[in-house]
A and B are shown apart, each in its own frame.
Chain A
Amino acid sequence: MDILVVAPHGNLDPSALGELTGAARLTAVCWDSQAPTTTTMTVLAVPARNGVAARLRERFLSSPASRNPIARSALRLTSFDEGRWFWLAASHADAVSASARTARVIVAADRDAVYAAWRWAREARRAGHDVAAVYGYPAARAAIAEAAQA
């Protein structure tokens, strides 16, 4: 059983997934800059995006305006939102997309992982693939146990 943990900021806690059988293969997808070193799972690092949009976004995030809660909330409505930004970057990484296609369980480890996990789950389901997609480790633990019994 392939399990994909989407954790842009490296929030990985394999012990929270419960007892995994030998047949379980764990893969995590994180930003390259925040990918932890671990031997318990395969980590697919997503490189930062380049280009004009990336520079604009970086400029905003390093400006004083980024500390304004209203400005940060407004940013969430745009494609510069961290969740969508991560999805745009990760969906261009072939290894990540391939991993998402074969996953039996997709886990969003934090808020910024949700959109990518949701998109991959939707694409897999449209392709007729039976996939569970959950938010948070307790839900992942339950989904993995259920998938193992199926």
Chain B
Amino acid sequence: MVEYAGNRAAARARRAARAEATSLARRLDWVLVATVGGLVAYGLWAIAGITRHDVPGSPSYYVTRQAIFAAVGIVGAIGAVLVDPGVYRRHHRAIYTGTIALMVLVLLSAPFTRGSKRWIDVGFFRFQPSEFGKLLFVLALAGFLADRARRISSPRTTLQTVGLAAVPIFLVFLQPDLGTALVYGAALAAILFVAGTRWMQIALLAVGAVVFAVLVLWGLPSVGVPVLKHYQQDRLLHWTNPDSDPGGATYNAHQSILAVGAGGVHGRGVANATQTNLDFLPEHATDFAFASLAEQRGFLGAAALLCLYLLVVWRGLRIVAIAGDPFSAIVAGGIVVALLFQIFVNVGMTMGIAPITGIPLPFVSVGGSSMIANLVAMGVLLAIHARARAQDRW
């Protein structure tokens, strides 16, 4: 009997779980799922072409690895869908502390790679905390703000948030990873914006950011306190004029624009993409993946990718609007804006309309951390959607 009762209880639990799973499945944003799936597939196809000549003798070396990462990322995304976002809110202090701890760990332990410490080696792949940090950063700050929803308009709350955010931003900047630090900054702006910080405070923060940027770029170097590395400064200042020094500071920008332009409407194909295959285009599998894609697949291929991104951003903004609680809305806003910012800076820098910073192209650039972190972030978006209100209106 006991056994029977136990069986009945178990069956009930199983039924409830099945019901929840079906309901969850029904409440998923299938457009977003399809779009992200398409992006991952498209990204793998693009990487297959871009890296075909990179490892002599094994043309699919990178694409295989990348596919494995994508699979891990999908598993991570499914896991994220199953977690109620409220869990993150309750534990935002732990998330924040954990993020900071990870970043300090990177600075302390990671070996130097190309002049910067960004990775922690975990066996078969190198774990890059700052990529996961993006999501954790958004979750932690959103939790902090959601707790103070009633005092959102007080300057004290805003200053506290900025102060909290400054620590991880500074740690990432120290790695040094200027691009990711900027992504964090964009996410912070989005979080405050969606949380409902007063316009006046946002305006003051914007002015403060501009003053800070001017100080870092011109003010402090002129009094002998270089904040940025030389190459960072050069790239930030020279991007408006990519031909000013084709052999030096603007070499990357120059070659990248050449690659994009040479692609034309239909692309040069994988075999004929000389900018990519002959290594004129540096970092073509990671930071400059878009230029490489544009060279190989032309306007049609590159525009298709941008369309997929546009779809993701649209679905993301929609989730911000229908989110079931302030925390979820803030998280969704942070995720979407961080994604939008990465897309703009990365694609823009390959075409000479944004400064060159080392930001990977979401879902395309070779790199496990970025792929997995972005997929998990999409999972969080989907989880928010599944628990949203009034979803059939949209």
The answer to whether A and B assemble together is: no
